[in-house]
Structure 1
């Protein structure tokens, strides 16, 4: 039996968040930095349990993006992962459905940075590639992030019609996108 719980970070017990962090460490094979984990916190956490064991995690945090001189309130997806032995069972889709609902109802736009392996999954859910240049609003000013141009995807019926415009993310430590 699976159970999905979506709640704010503050509504989870410390041991549940520790389990989520360990799960992501395993899923990303040690490539989950402290900054990456920090990026998952402070918004909605989607934890998926199967037979009492944590098998999936995804997060949605608020970020500001600049598009055409306008600051958008965006729901940014972070830390999507399913335990290796529980993949291909629809678990990621279950978690994303809840987060996508929140994007549609609470944000101007959903945004994420997808790994090459995850692109088919996100495309199948209606996420669209951002085709314009990306950048970050850093302490030194606007800095282009050309290495991210092909990995940014957006979601939401209220999103911009022109996906070729420049899109800038707010600054944060670690990976900006």
Structure 2
């Protein structure tokens, strides 16, 4: 049985009195119209810098969708990944595809989506993790996410490879994992952006 968790709020969204609805559901429960709406939203939110590999990374987990009436205005997803740290493989809830329609930013939609996904992280994972754009660093810090201070790397098919370009942009939300944020954090391999 699939559970769809929907929360309606009466917060002012600045859109003719529409209420914000935050819906969480698994990728398997996204119908064709919803998938197309999410992909279109992310293409627009990332201004053309969201490719098929990025889309693939956002699938297979829990999605938080923000609706104003019948209009999709925000999306974020949470997928399972393995992170290596301190000689352990950690089960991580990894945040992907966070985007809000450009004319609906600054209204708390990002906060509402992260609240929904953080609830899942705290209930199902050892830690949360994500890679942030420069513009969103303060947003995640204000939510209690911790910027990873140590080096980052990826476990490739040929071994561990440093990802210096991602240093300083990776955030974690510890739940039960013991972390030393000055040591190396290694993510599992995938095509495209590894973090």
TM range (shorter): over 0.9
1:96-133, Cα deviation, whole Å (9 max, x unpaired): 00100111110011000001100010001000101111
Matched, 1:8 2:12: no
Query: What SS is found at the alignment partner of 1:158?
Result: coil
Structure 2, gaps ≥5 residues long: 1-18
Quote the residue 2:145 is aligned against.
127
Counterparts of 1:27 and 1:74, CA distance in 2:
25
Query: What SS is found at the alignment partner of 2:192?
Result: coil
Q: Verify the 8 A CA contact 2:90 2:177 in the aligned structure 1.
A: no
Q: Aligned pairs, how many?
A: 177
Query: What SS is found at the alignment partner of 1:155?
Result: strand
Matched, 1:96 2:111: no
TM-score w.r.t. length of structure 2: 0.89
1:158 Cα deviation after fit: 2.1
Where in structure 2 are the equivalents of 1:13-162 lying within 5 Å?
13-162=31-180
Q: Verify the 8 A CA contact 2:128 2:175 in the aligned structure 1.
A: no
Counterparts of 1:19 and 1:110, CA distance in 2:
26
Query: What SS is found at the alignment partner of 2:41?
Result: helix
Query: What SS is found at the alignment partner of 1:56?
Result: strand
